[in-house]
């Protein structure tokens, strides 16, 4: 009886392919949604009608009542824009970490570990896990074990690029092996081979051609190549604009049309069962995506209206807070925020830029402080420093604790000082 109940519970937790596709739809950009839509349209149309009918579907994608009404009420167009950004390895890892469903103290551990990863992807040899335990205990009052830190590190090591945060090349290669699309037996065999090679018990020339081929797929320097400047052409998913001084939010759904959705629903009656189910699933997932995206965007714009008006810093707000306010899950909000862009009157920004985590506080009684506010405090401290006795990161940390009751590590001070484009005390001497 217990066995059967366990089976039922397990089945209820399993995600169906339909649900998986709908969840995936939440993370897609508008352009990616449009691409999927055309695939469905292509399936719905019979071969003999394809040429004359497909163009109709294609044309009405550009027709939308929202598009027409929006242009009448605003002075700036909805259009694609080019973004150029040089993303460092640490930025890439931190962005992925921010999307993970972590507790506050787990996120702090992840930040500390990522901050300790060198450009080549190796974890700093000087990092001390005991320091991390003490930091978490002092900041959150949470007692953790070394295994808890190890779990977060493993999570980071399995982020893109896979294998970063390694303590030895062999460790990185084994992590990469576990992510290869090969059988478990091949993975186990390859792991044993790598360990033998590392211990000097096996030479490459003794491997089979297949084993050599698989090893050539591994990256001996996983951090290499990160930091390139890439250009992307993006269509903002959401548009924020002011009407009589009040911020309003609308979806930029010019890539899709209500008319098109209705036409698909009509055409479903003539389609096969498989295509019908796929199309229905898409429409349901699309409508959920649009509703959630609008709710999340409105919440963020309202919360950050002072910042958008240029009259204040970002207000600390987390994924869990948003999820609670819109009666959704944190994972859903995380997927919605990911890879979406918000068009403002003068520029476009990632929607995730309106998220701001709290900096660690020494007491729950202290006010929340955001990274941008912390950066400003560091600037203020350094503006008044004695040029004959320049402040080290440790002295800045002590001043933050004494003057503002902000309890953070020296490494965190270093991180935000760098983000503010302020050199170290040694570098500031020459200025």
**Please, are residues 88 and 227 in contact by the beta-carbon 8 Å criterion?**
yes
Whether residue 248 lies inside any domain: the answer is yes
* 93 & 174 share domain: yes
Whether residue 406 lies inside any domain: the answer is yes
Q: Coil, strand or helix: which one is 355?
A: coil
* 261 & 182 share domain: no
Work out how many domains the chain is built from and give that number.
3
Query: In the structure, how many helices (H) and strands (E) does the chain have?
Result: 21, 6
Q: Strand pairing partners for 240?
A: 249
* 280 & 304 share domain: yes
Whether residue 290 lies inside any domain: the answer is yes
pLDDT at 152: 94
* 319 & 417 share domain: no
Tokens read off for 282:
């898409």
pLDDT at 299: 94
Whether residue 204 lies inside any domain: the answer is yes
Q: Chunked in runs of 10, what are the mean pLDDT values of the chain (431 residues)?
A: 37 52 76 74 56 43 37 44 58 82 87 86 86 84 92 92 90 90 89 88 86 85 65 74 90 66 64 69 83 93 88 79 88 84 83 72 50 80 80 85 79 71 64 44
Whether residue 167 lies inside any domain: the answer is yes
CATH code for position 421: 1.10.10
Residue where one domain finishes, among candidates 216, 249, 267: 216
Residue with tokens 């037996």: 185
Q: CA 222 to CA 113: how far, in whole Å?
A: 16
Give the domain extent around 376: 371-429
* 247 & 347 share domain: yes
* 293 & 377 share domain: no
pLDDT at 261: 66
* 54 & 114 share domain: no
* 400 & 325 share domain: no
pLDDT at 402: 82
pLDDT at 92: 83
pLDDT at 247: 93
pLDDT at 272: 62
Whether residue 246 lies inside any domain: the answer is yes
* 345 & 389 share domain: no
pTM here is 0.48
Q: At what angle do helices 89-98 and 104-115 cross, to 10 degrees?
A: 170
- From the number of C-beta atoms within 10 Å of its C-beta (0-12, 13-18, 19+), residue 268 rates as middle
* 251 & 145 share domain: no
**Please, are residues 279 and 268 in contact by the beta-carbon 8 Å criterion?**
yes
* 304 & 192 share domain: no
* 135 & 174 share domain: yes
Identify the CA nearest to 79 among candidates 30, 7, 143. 30
**Please, are residues 141 and 147 in contact by the beta-carbon 8 Å criterion?**
no
Whether residue 3 lies inside any domain: the answer is no
């Amino acid at each position: 009886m217990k066995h059967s109940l366990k089976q039922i519970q397990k089945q209820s937790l399993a995600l169906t392919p339909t649900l998986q596709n709908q969840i995936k739809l939440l993370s897609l950009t508008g352009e990616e949604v449009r691409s999927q839509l055309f695939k469905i349209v292509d399936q719905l149309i019979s071969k003999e009608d394809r040429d004359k009918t497909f163009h109709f579907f294609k044309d009405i994608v550009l027709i939308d009542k929202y598009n027409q009404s929006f242009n009448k009420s605003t002075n700036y167009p909805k259009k694609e824009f080019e973004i150029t950004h040089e993303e460092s390895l640490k930025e890439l890892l931190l962005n992925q970490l921010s999307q993970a469903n972590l507790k506050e103290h787990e996120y702090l551990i992840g930040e500390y570990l990522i901050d300790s990863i060198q450009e080549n992807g190796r974890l700093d040899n000087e990092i001390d896990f005991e320091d991390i335990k003490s930091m978490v205990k002092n900041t959150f009052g949470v007692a953790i074990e070394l295994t808890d830190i190890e779990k977060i590190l493993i999570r980071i090591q399995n982020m893109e690029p896979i294998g970063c945060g390694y303590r030895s090349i062999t460790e990185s290669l084994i992590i990469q092996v576990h992510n290869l699309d090969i059988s478990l037996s091949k993975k186990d065999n390859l792991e044993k081979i790598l360990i033998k090679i590392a211990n000097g018990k096996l030479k490459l020339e003794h491997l089979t051609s297949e084993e050599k081929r698989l090893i050539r797929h591994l990256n001996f320097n996983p951090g290499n190549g990160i930091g390139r400047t890439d250009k992307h052409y993006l269509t903002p998913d959401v548009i924020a604009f002011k009407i009589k001084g009040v911020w309003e939010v609308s979806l930029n759904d010019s890539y899709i049309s209500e008319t098109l959705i209705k036409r698909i629903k009509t055409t479903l009656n003539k389609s096969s069962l498989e295509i019908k189910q796929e199309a229905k699933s898409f429409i349901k997932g699309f409508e959920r995506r649009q509703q959630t995206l609008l709710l999340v965007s409105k919440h963020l714009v309202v919360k950050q209206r002072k910042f958008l008006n240029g009259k204040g810093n970002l207000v600390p707000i987390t994924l869990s807070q948003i999820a609670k306010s819109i009666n959704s899950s944190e994972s859903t909000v995380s997927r919605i925020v990911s890879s979406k862009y918000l068009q403002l009157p003068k520029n476009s920004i990632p929607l995730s830029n309106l998220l701001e985590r709290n900096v660690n506080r020494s007491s729950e009684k202290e006010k929340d402080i955001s990274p941008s506010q912390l950066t400003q405090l560091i600037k203020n401290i350094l503006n008044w420093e004695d040029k004959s006795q320049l402040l080290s990161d440790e002295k800045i940390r002590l001043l933050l604790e004494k003057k503002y009751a902000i309890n953070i590590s020296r490494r965190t001070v270093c991180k935000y000082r760098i983000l503010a484009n302020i050199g170290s005390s040694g570098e500031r001497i020459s200025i």
